[in-house]
Structure 1
Amino acid sequence: MLRKLLLSSFMLIAIVGSAIAEDATARLTEAAKATLARAPGEVVETTVKIARGKETIVGTLALPKGVAKPPVVLLLHGFTGKRDELAIEGTKEGVYSRTARILAERGLASLRIDFVGSGESSGKWEDTTTFSQIADAIAAFDWLKTETDIDPAKIHVIGWSLGGLVASHLAAERPVASATLWAAVANPVFTFGVVLGKEALDKAMAAKDPNELIEGTLPWGAKTTLKAAFFQSLVVTDPVAAIARYDGPLFVIVGTKDTVVTPQPQAGEIFLTYHEGEESLMILPTDHGFDAFTGPATVDLMAAASLDFIAAH
């Protein structure tokens, strides 16, 4: 009898929670559409270089023309990505280059970077670890603190996928004004068992030399090679523990069709469970790529919803 009562209680909580999430998503969606309907301003973009030790991080600083010292958003790309991110069907933009434009056209600056070993930044891809990417994000944040074209007291962060893991750690280490996580990796070992295959993961964990090269196959068939150190860094990097150290505003966006960071929406909800502070959740019927392969509609909605959340802080 007690078991049945407990199960009934859990089911009721789940139903109520689902209804609340749907209502919140509906409100966020309507607000985002209104934001997109606003007349856009002009954007000025500049390529910048940021030193981190012997490495050079290359980024694009997007500024809203005519706006003095705007808030700025640091955009952190996903695994195997680059600062402009995934190309969007029917456009000449990537997910992040388009997001940066939408933000700047409506008054928010942004800095999107190539992590060391990716894109135009220095270094080799095979040397990437979660620690190196977190160090890159901290270096970019510290660089923004010295910039005179933006408000150094209002530095926000958006991280997608592995970039979301990095954003969580940045929020724990630096005073970000708000953190927005797009399909962020919550359980690194589990996710990369899915992304690169259990065989690659097991081989890396058994490697005695962290420099041993490990080849993995991505879900879409492409192969990539990283040192065992990358896989081993996943075990000791915990984005949920990091977000628990952050008490600022948190916005989480997830897609119910995501087959990379799974299961959803639970993989997104766990960040809210361990975060103390103002927070919001948006659950969309989208995949891990936010439907970029079919067009910009979902990306635009997410960018505008994120803009609204950031602008409120």
Structure 2
Amino acid sequence: MTDTFVTPQKRTIAYHLTDGTGPMVVFLGGFKSDMNGTKAVFLENWAKKVGRAFLRFDYSGHGESSGEFEDGCIGDWFDDATAMLDLIAGPVVLVGSSMGGWISLQIARAQSGRVAGLVTIAAAADFTEDGFWVGFDAAQKAELEAEGRVAVPSEYGDPYIITKRLIEEGRDRFVLRKPLSLPCAVRFLQGTADTSVPVSTALKLFEHAECADMRLTLVDEADHSFSDAACLELIVASITDVLAARETGTR
């Protein structure tokens, strides 16, 4: 059953919470995705099977949560995620997919005492700048400035409407252009056939971040969805790995 709560910003967030042992695993989805995606549901089923506490949710403007997607920005969705964490007690293991990877890195930086482990899947670090703004031609940049928004083709269906606010606010959220010290065991996962987040981004993140226990795994021919059986099992193995690192005190 879907539960909801209202954030301090008066946004209604839909979520599914599974009881179990901690640290709780929290799944953070991607740009314009929702909590009913393959990875989120697979991980919830895994958590139920092993008795692990688990949380999946929709950012505002996504899925079953309130608001319009086009009104949101990275900071809003970061605030939604941190408000969700305020609902639960104790340490968490963050599993961030694409944009959720970027947001989970921000949370790990801002709440270092709370994050017990971090797994990212094709972390789209700074993508509003490096994925959208840098890729816009002069006409698109002019349209964004004049109209406040521009439509960008998407391989997942309808075009993305990219707003000026999304671009400008994203610049306050950078993790690749500011120091990034991560407080826990970290596992970065990346497919080599990903056309949305290139391997170069994963390598840049790996080289930039500071962490005593950090690994990057490249999966040959895996795409951005990272949702075939082998990839899903690798996500679970990575979660298990960071949990083991915490329990043995290696981080």
TM-score bin (small chain): 0.7 to 0.9
Q: Secondary structure at the match of 2:176?
A: helix
Task: Indicate the SS of the match to 2:6.
Answer: strand
Contact 1:261 1:267 in 2 (8 A): yes
The percent identity for this pair of structures is 24
**Residue of structure 1 aligned with 2:231, choices 291, 298, 308:** 298
Aligned equivalents of 2:23, 2:233: Cα separation in 1: 20
Moved more, 131-140 or 266-275: 266-275
Moved over 4 A (4+): none
Aligned to 1:190: 130
In structure 2, what is the equivalent of residue 275 of structure 1?
A: 210
Is the aligned partner of 1:54 residue 2:6? no
Residue aligned with 1:268, SS: helix
In the alignment, structure 1 residue 82 sits paired with structure 2 residue 37: no
* Structure 2 residue 102 is the aligned partner of structure 1 residue 165: yes
Q: For residues 102 and 304 of structure 1, do their structure 2 counterparts lie closer, same or farther at Cα, with a shift above 3 Å needed?
A: farther
Amino acid at match of 2:120: L
Say whether the 8 Å CA contact 2:102–2:126 is kept in structure 1.
no
Cα gap change, 1:205/1:172 in structure 2, threshold over 3 Å: closer, same or farther? Answer: farther
Matched, 1:230 2:170: no
CA deviations on 1:257-297 (whole Å, 9 max, x unpaired) are 111111x1x3223333222322122211111111x3xx433
What is the rounded CA distance, in whole Å, between the counterparts of 2:175 and 2:18 in structure 1? 28
- RMSD in angstroms over aligned alpha carbons? 2.4
Counterpart Cα distance in 2 of 1:214 and 1:232: 14
Is residue 117–residue 184 contact of structure 2 (8 Å, CA) maintained in 1?
A: yes
Determine the C-alpha separation between the residues in 2 that align with 1:143 and 1:129.
22
Bigger Rg over Cα: 1
**Partner Cα distance (1:81, 1:242) in 2:** 27
Counterparts of residues 81-230 of structure 1 (less than 5 Å): 81-85=33-37, 94-145=38-89, 152=90, 154-174=91-111, 175-188=114-127, 189-192=129-132, 198-199=136-137, 202-203=141-142, 206-207=145-146, 212-220=148-156, 222-230=158-166
Separation in 1, partners of 2:176, 2:203: 10
**Alpha-carbon contact 1:74-1:111 (below 8 Å) kept:** yes
CA distance in 2, matches of 1:203, 1:50: 39
Q: Report the equivalent of 1:255.
A: 191
Partners of 1:217 and 1:228 lie apart in 2 by: 17
* 1:96/1:112 contact within 8 Å kept: yes
Deviations along 1:131-160, one digit per CA (max 9) or x if unpaired, are 111111111111112xxxxxx1x2111111
Question: Helix, strand or coil for the counterpart of 1:50?
Answer: strand
What does 1:10-89 correspond to in 2, within 5 Å?
Answer: 46-52=1-7, 53-64=9-20, 69-85=21-37
- Partners of 2:166 and 2:63 lie apart in 1 by 18
SS across alignment from 2:87: helix
Q: Against the structure 1 CA distance between its residues 70 and 235, is the aligned structure 2 distance closer, same or farther, given a 3 Å change threshold? A: closer
More strand by share: 2
Shift of the alpha carbon at 1:230?
1.1
Q: Compute the TM-score of the two structures, normalised by the length of structure 1.
A: 0.69
Q: Which residue of 1 aligns with 2:249?
A: none
| 1:50, distance to aligned residue in structure 2 (A) | 2.8
Between the aligned partners of 1:205 and 1:177, the Cα distance in structure 2 is: 40
Aligned partners of 1:138 and 1:284: how far apart in 2?
Answer: 30
- Any stretches of 5+ residues in structure 1 without a counterpart? 1-45, 86-93, 146-151
Q: Report how far residue 239 of structure 1 moved.
A: 2.5
String of CA shifts for 1:50-103, please: whole Å, max 9, x gaps.
321211111111234xxxx43201110001100122xxxxxxxx2211122113
Partner Cα separation in structure 1 for residue 120 and residue 14 of structure 2? 22
Could you tell me whether the CA contact under 8 Å between 1:127 and 1:226 is conserved in 2?
Answer: no
The alignment of Structure 1 onto Structure 2 pairs a total of residues equal to 239
Deviation at 1:251, TM superposition (A): 1.3
